[in-house]
Structure 1
Amino acid sequence: MVVKTTTMRWLSDIGLRSGKKTTKAPLGILSFETAKTMSIIISLYKSLSDHEMLKLRNVILKSEGVLYLNSNDEDFLLNLTCAERLEDLDKAATFLARLGQKCSNLSLNRFDVLYTDLKLGVLDVGKLEYASKKAEKKIQKMENLILATSNLYSALEALTELEITERKLSQWKKSSHVMQSQKTNFDLFNQKISFQRRQVHNFRETSLWNQSFDKSVGLMAPILFIVYSRICSLFGPYIPILPRVSLSTIMSSHPREISKIQPESCLIKQISRSGPMPTTSRPNFVRFYSRKSICFSPEGSSFGANNNRVFHAAGTSTVGGSGLATRYANVIILAEKYLDTAMTIDDDAREDLYMSLPESLKTLVRSKLSRNVRNADDDFLAEGWRGALAEIMGWLAPMAHDTLKWQMERSFGKMSFNTSPSVLLLQTLHFSDKEKTEAAIAEVLVGLSCIYWCENRLWYDG
């Protein structure tokens, strides 16, 4: 049961009605991590639009690669979707709570308590409306700040390089006789670095660098709450563990477009096998949310996969659980390059590709080669293999690209400010059945070898 409380009044215009004057201390160097978190919150917001949810239902969950390698159990895949989005939201809330501790507004300062209460279902979501004019206005403000902060980040990187050069030039001038022509070059360089410093100054003025903690958290907090209520509106009717929200305040025109998620799938268990996954296979170890704190992740965690419990739910029979997702993704993308270009695959390239494989896959490739190449009719073999490989790569390559994209989007060291909906883990090779994935990769590599053999009348028995 939802317990309505007046503490939710702050959400309508958070940070503006506090009796205490807001702090003037700017974010400064924290502006970049703030912009990154702000980007992730907006990305989550956009991923829950009607368009994106229909795309999830009609395109992603029905893609051939996902159905064959991961699972054809739609309930299970939707369960993964919800769990991953909530986990990302929790990680954003972790950073927001740390920023909130530096706020003078009492509501923002105790953001962790309010977020915990919301997840426990003891706060009324009230007028938190997805896609409302007020929400869209806040999104636009944040996107403008993110753009300015991204420009500042790039400008500071460029300035750093120029200042390194400036120091080197200064040392060189002290130890050398400078000619008149060289003085002209120095003047041009000084103009360039002066312009760059002005650029940095201007971006600091318009970016998050000069924004207060109260204003920054005040922009993000309501959207984060809206995202949570939106998730509840899409998945809550079928998952009792999520708090109920008032459907009259949710701006979803298709609240039941997603297939029913069974109550028993409220837990994500370790996935021991995949593709297709029977309905009876249900998760363990990963709850949708924690009742004892605001987040899954420990203090100081990032958006990297190391603290992602959904990520670690993959069993040893999956590609991700075996630690081979990145390795196999790179092999598939390299094979795609050889297939799609007119370039000849020379012996060195084939050797490098072969040596990048784990021993089990090498054995499988050798076995398939011995059965396919020696008895092949080379008149039409190359063209036939190209057609067959194009069909396989049509569903295998997108999963490889999404695997690397997922990792790039969540890279610990990468300062990304992308606000587009991010790739879901279920779109990658992470939960793919290892045996099926290796069979598909082996088929591609054998096909490339056959094409090479036919076109060059040579055969290399790796």
Structure 2
Amino acid sequence: MTNLNLSSGFTSGVSTKGNKISILAFEVANTIVKGANLMQSLSKENIRHLKEVVLPSEGVKNLISRDMDELLRIAAADKREELKIFSGEVVRFGNRCRDPQWHNLDRYFEKLCSELTPQKQLKEEAEIVMQQLMTFVQYTAELYHELHALDRFDQDYRRKLQEEDNSNATQRGDSLAILRAELKSQKKHVRNLKKKSLWSKILEEVMEKLVDIVHFLYLEIHEAFGSSDTDKQANDSQSNHKKLGSAGLALHYANIITQIDTLVSRSSSVPPNTRDALYQGLPPNVKSALRSRLQSFQVKEELTVPQIKAEMEKILQWLVPIAANTTKAHHGFGWVGEWANTGSEINRKPAGQTDLLRIETLHHADKDKTEAYILELVIWLHHLVSQVRVGNGGIRSPVKSPIRSPTQKTGQLFTQKTCSSPMLTVEDQQMLRDVSKRKLTPGISKSQEFDTTKTRLSKQNRLSKSSSHSPISESKNDIFSTRRLPSVPVIDFDNHRMKALDVIDRVDNIGSS
């Protein structure tokens, strides 16, 4: 590529022979992979995919914005931020060079913003140079792994030298000879890889290529987004709403959505403590709104379990992929060398395929909009769990014991005490009053006692929350079915809501039994 004259203005332009990159090779490789990913994401195929597939997708429109111009500004701002990170690392490497020509490159990069004239030759040369750099990166990745292998060989050899065993000297000598030969072979392999990788390259020579890549990327972003590529417009469009990414909540909300999806797919065999864990992790705004929404939640007709799942799937089908993308995006470049496992595969990706875009995750999602969808899903989940229990004849999931222990007082997800969201419907209160007027009949389980009140309740009443904790069949020798239990006391619903819940859930006598 054509050398950039950086001497005008702030350097002397004196050429100085530089040092080899050496151990810095892994950091340089990490930076090169970031630049390659950014360059690939700005290709015509990927920009077309962004505008025709990603931005018009249901998830982006529902959680971020339906204004295409605003979405383009957000996407352009993301690319500028990626370029800022990449160029910042290039500046850091430049300051480590012996040649002062590469010092303080940040001043040079600032000037590029005002010189956005497309150069066709620069584009062609940048692609060729990046391919060359990525070849060095692949050898550097191999060197990274082989250095670890060399370290293991060396440790094994040293340990064998210090090992004291009962074998004779001849056998010990043969074993050491084998390890010594393997160690020698590995050292030779590592030396060859160092010659082919970035390790033996001169930092100034690589810097020349990296600076031209930065120059190219400035032009490419402007060409890809045009008038949308302005900082002020992007900042204005994002300042009106609270985003999950800026609040640090994107990964947490993604985990909640994933939990809900898991509970829906396994609704017939999920233990109550799993639902309780979901409830405890809900955002405060969702928790506070949940009680009133549950009380007012009504459906026109009683839905079956498949119908409820179908209603939830309307949201989950576009929300779950975004949550999955969020989780995946948080496993990016976490440490120097991670590129050795994933980044060096960039040249093997199919045409048009690139890394995840931030706009495909929950990073830019509006906090209030996301919480509204989570709230709706949680309400449907509550209804789903209730219908599954009804379909099972009131029997809980077999993953829980039919006989409750004191540690199992948590009960249902949205009626437990620990979740601070107790609810008593009119039917629950009526049922409790009816039970309080009678004494339990010896030899009849608690759930069977409730069966006598079913005729007085509507079909949509969820009935006994304790029926699932009674055995399906009871033998005459079962001590739980023959002991006499005291009658249920009359409870003031206004002052003793927690106690009333215990009676409904049939845990009021556990402590004393």
Please, what TM-score do these two structures have when normalized by structure 1?
A: 0.70
Task: Return the index of the structure with the highest Cα Rg.
Answer: 2
Deviations 1:125-153 (A, max 9, x none): 655443x2x33321211121121112222
Conservation of the 8 A alpha-carbon contact between 2:161 and 2:176: no
Equivalent AA in structure 1 for residue 215 of structure 2: F
Conservation of the 8 A alpha-carbon contact between 2:74 and 2:234: no
Q: Report what 2:83 is aligned to.
A: 89
Aligned: 1:74 with 2:65: no
Deviations 1:298-357 (A, max 9, x none): xxxxxxxxxxxxxxxxx3xx3234332111111212333444569822223222222222
Q: Report what 1:212 is aligned to.
A: 202
Displacement of 1:453: 3.8
Which structure would you say has the larger RCO, counting Cα contacts within 8 Å and 6 or more residues apart? 1
Equivalent AA in structure 1 for residue 275 of structure 2: R
Unaligned stretches of 5+ residues in structure 1: 1-7, 13-17, 239-260, 275-314
- Using a 3 Å threshold, how does the CA distance of structure 1 residues 149 and 335 change in structure 2: closer, same or farther? farther
Equivalent AA in structure 2 for residue 395 of structure 1: W
Correspondence for 1:357 among 277, 282, 293: 282
Displacement of 1:452: 3.8
2:359 & 2:220 partners in 1: Cα distance? 21
- Using a 3 Å threshold, how does the CA distance of structure 1 residues 164 and 443 change in structure 2: closer, same or farther? farther
Q: Report what 1:388 is aligned to.
A: 311
2:180 & 2:95 partners in 1: Cα distance? 42
Correspondence for 1:147 among 138, 156, 173: 138
1:68 & 1:49 partners in 2: Cα distance? 27
- Using a 3 Å threshold, how does the CA distance of structure 1 residues 189 and 79 change in structure 2: closer, same or farther? same
Deviations 1:17-72 (A, max 9, x none): x9976635211121111111111111111111111111111111111111111111
2:287 & 2:180 partners in 1: Cα distance? 58
Q: Report what 1:225 is aligned to.
A: 215
Equivalent pairs, count: 379
Q: Report what 1:429 is aligned to.
A: 362
Aligned: 1:137 with 2:128: yes
SS for the counterpart of 2:330 is helix
Q: Report what 1:406 is aligned to.
A: 329
Matches within 5 A, 1:190-339: 193-236=183-226, 238=227, 261=228, 265-266=232-233, 268-269=235-236, 271-274=238-241, 315=242, 318-339=243-264
Correspondence for 2:30 among 24, 36, 51: 36
1:151 & 1:264 partners in 2: Cα distance? 40
Equivalent AA in structure 1 for residue 32 of structure 2: M
1:335 & 1:187 partners in 2: Cα distance? 59
Q: Report what 1:250 is aligned to.
A: none
SS for the counterpart of 1:409 is coil
Displacement of 1:117: 2.3
Unaligned stretches of 5+ residues in structure 2: 6-11, 347-352, 397-410, 415-513
Deviations 1:404-454 (A, max 9, x none): 233333546673336474433322212222222112123333444444443
SS for the counterpart of 2:314 is helix
Equivalent AA in structure 1 for residue 3 of structure 2: W
Correspondence for 1:10 among 3, 11, 15: 3
Equivalent AA in structure 2 for residue 319 of structure 1: L
Q: Report what 2:399 is aligned to.
A: none
- Using a 3 Å threshold, how does the CA distance of structure 1 residues 102 and 341 change in structure 2: closer, same or farther? same
- Report percent identity of matched pairs: 26
CA RMSD of aligned residues (A): 3.7
Please, what TM-score do these two structures have when normalized by structure 2?
A: 0.63
Conservation of the 8 A alpha-carbon contact between 2:254 and 2:324: yes
Equivalent AA in structure 1 for residue 126 of structure 2: A
1:351 & 1:196 partners in 2: Cα distance? 54
Displacement of 1:108: 4.1
- Using a 3 Å threshold, how does the CA distance of structure 1 residues 182 and 71 change in structure 2: closer, same or farther? farther
Matches within 5 A, 1:162-173: 162-164=153-155, 166-171=157-162, 173=163
Displacement of 1:272: 4.7
Conservation of the 8 A alpha-carbon contact between 2:14 and 2:101: no
1:461 & 1:109 partners in 2: Cα distance? 61
2:155 & 2:357 partners in 1: Cα distance? 40
Conservation of the 8 A alpha-carbon contact between 1:159 and 1:193: yes
- Using a 3 Å threshold, how does the CA distance of structure 1 residues 19 and 94 change in structure 2: closer, same or farther? closer
Aligned: 1:460 with 2:450: no
- Using a 3 Å threshold, how does the CA distance of structure 1 residues 126 and 189 change in structure 2: closer, same or farther? same
2:178 & 2:198 partners in 1: Cα distance? 31
Conservation of the 8 A alpha-carbon contact between 2:18 and 2:98: no
Conservation of the 8 A alpha-carbon contact between 1:75 and 1:262: no
SS for the counterpart of 1:232 is helix
